[in-house]
Structure 1
């Protein structure tokens, strides 16, 4: 039989109200009583019925985070930042990975709504969809993560990916490279499109420079390796490549240097994007555009909690970080 709060109270020799005060961290209980209650909880193996407590309080202590690909170290870092900030206020983060699939995203959202999460942090599978509106109608606050919108009413945390693309390609051009390849991933992805826009802007600023778009099916190491194998067979290869993320760049490195005998950066200079944890440890340390991934996650939780507390000023709803170029051996 499950141990109830009245059992804890009887074992500790205190009232049910005192046990409730201890469980909820209220400071109205004497240290001696707190110790007796904690000892009773430990002895009896009491586990609080948090779902029932949330229904009574009208507010959950869990936050949903849905990202495009939890296997991408960038999103893993976003989750770390979100978890750390949520824990500061006694919340937990429930993580879902949509795989950039709208149907999977809707399934997660339905499940998290049933669990009465306090709010949702979301990197949307479809940036042009109506998910924010649907969540708002259900009374669930939402913060878009690694996404920006012109709607000033929507809370967002993002990085200026146009500037990031410009940083990457301007750096390659400054090394004297003129035939730039952009290994893109799906161009319909907003982040990829913005990075491409920045790359195009940098190329337009330098006479004689040209940009070639090399699309891939995904943004994984395997997709990058496939793109690198195609480049390896060409005689008209670009002399520099900007990859839309570091996973693509790692695959390119594998195909070009380990399998193809092409020298990086001598034959092809290479820049990635995200500056994931192992970018500095690749066979040729990877130059990358750094996004503050953990700060994105922690800032998103902060915005959400301030929404819940009614303390968020409308002018503070959208936070945009600036990217940083981290130069290593792969670009010369």
Structure 2
């Protein structure tokens, strides 16, 4: 079978060769019905364009890069799924890079993206230094921050208000009557951990409580289930179990849950447990996990839309900083609806009715 040409695709789709070219290179400029008709003709004829030739002509490829901190965390898997769905619909492929939260690996990812002539980059930065990203932009590669605020008007970002999330989590625990809380956080270099801890402190201050006496912060070397289980084992060995533990993400919380249950510690009967992210495993764990929900798939979608909008027309693009509001999800690990005060806390503390989850709201800051 010979090579299928653009002209043959155009003839079958009843459009001009220029329209076929736009579908291949600038699909956002073509009406959806026409775009689908051209793609159907491409599928029927088995047309494959010469990728390297088109890349050389355009100076970039039909790909975008996505660099995340931990692809083993379902949070980032969901973000990637949202971004990939948007990119795929507009004819882009996604190259995934896992930085493991380290600057050195992140910089290697960015170098690979540049070598592959990606059109744009979505990234959850490993730290606050954004110099390497400015280098990409000087090459004509658009950049959008994901799960990290831009703090500057010339860069798009999509994130969640983690300070508000920390407040929600600890305010809920305080409503249960808890007065000794452990905050299990990840490495202090991770902004999200710091913001969630800051929110926890704000909830205590709002309740007129002294964070120094109520909240004990414990730092795990990684935000994984194994690190969470090891932290639980250390707490049990120390004999200093708090009344509640708030974890900076669900993986830590699931590890803590496993460690506590294996040691015969009741959850929530002996220790109330709160996670963050509301990954799928949170609802399916042995004791369903209360958590702070983030719209992970939506984060990826919006970020990709902003990126490809900028790629399509950089001159007309208006940079935006999108902030989602988190949502409290109450389940068994903190005493879900229907539990009595006597079974909820070992000290028979009064449990207020579980608040109903609020709809996530989107706030845009220009």
Task: State the TM-score bracket (shorter-chain normalisation).
Answer: 0.7 to 0.9
Contact 2:127 2:189 in 1 (8 A): no
Q: Report the secondary structure of 1:307's partner residue.
A: helix
Contact 1:9 1:37 in 2 (8 A): no
Matched, 1:298 2:301: yes
Unaligned runs of 5+ in 1: none
* Structure-2 residue corresponding to 1:176: 177
Matched, 1:322 2:325: yes
* Structure-1 residue corresponding to 2:349: none
* Structure-1 residue corresponding to 2:127: 126
Q: Normalising by structure 2, what TM-score?
A: 0.80
Count of residues in Structure 1 that have an aligned counterpart in Structure 2: 318
* Structure-2 residue corresponding to 1:277: 280
Per-residue CA deviations over 1:156-209 (Å, capped at 9, x if unaligned) read: 111000010110001000000010100011012100000010011112223366
* Structure-2 residue corresponding to 1:60: 61
Cα distance in 2 for partners of 1:143, 1:276 equals: 23
* Structure-1 residue corresponding to 2:163: 162
CA drift at 1:115: 1.1
Query: CA separation of 1:86/1:215 partners in 2, compared to 1, >3 Å: closer, same or farther?
Result: same
Unaligned runs of 5+ in 2: 24-29, 336-366
CA drift at 1:48: 2.1
Q: Report the secondary structure of 1:273's partner residue.
A: coil
Per-residue CA deviations over 1:44-75 (Å, capped at 9, x if unaligned) read: xx632112113223453211100001110000
Q: Report the secondary structure of 2:275's partner residue.
A: strand
Superposed, 1:141-220 pairs within 5 Å as 141-206=142-207, 207=209, 210-220=214-224
Q: Report the secondary structure of 2:111's partner residue.
A: helix
Superposed, 1:1-332 pairs within 5 Å as 4-5=3-4, 22=20, 25=23, 41-42=45-46, 47-206=48-207, 207=209, 210-257=214-261, 259-308=262-311, 309-310=313-314, 311-314=316-319, 317-332=320-335
Q: Which aligned runs of 4 or more in structure 1 are off by greater than 4 angstroms? A: 2-6, 17-27, 33-39
Per-residue CA deviations over 1:75-119 (Å, capped at 9, x if unaligned) read: 000001001111221222111111011111111111111111110
Cα distance in 1 for partners of 2:62, 2:227 equals: 39
Cα distance in 1 for partners of 2:107, 2:283 equals: 36
Q: Report the secondary structure of 1:70's partner residue.
A: coil
Cα distance in 2 for partners of 1:326, 1:79 equals: 23
RMSD: 2.8
Q: Report the secondary structure of 2:66's partner residue.
A: strand
Q: Normalising by structure 1, what TM-score?
A: 0.87
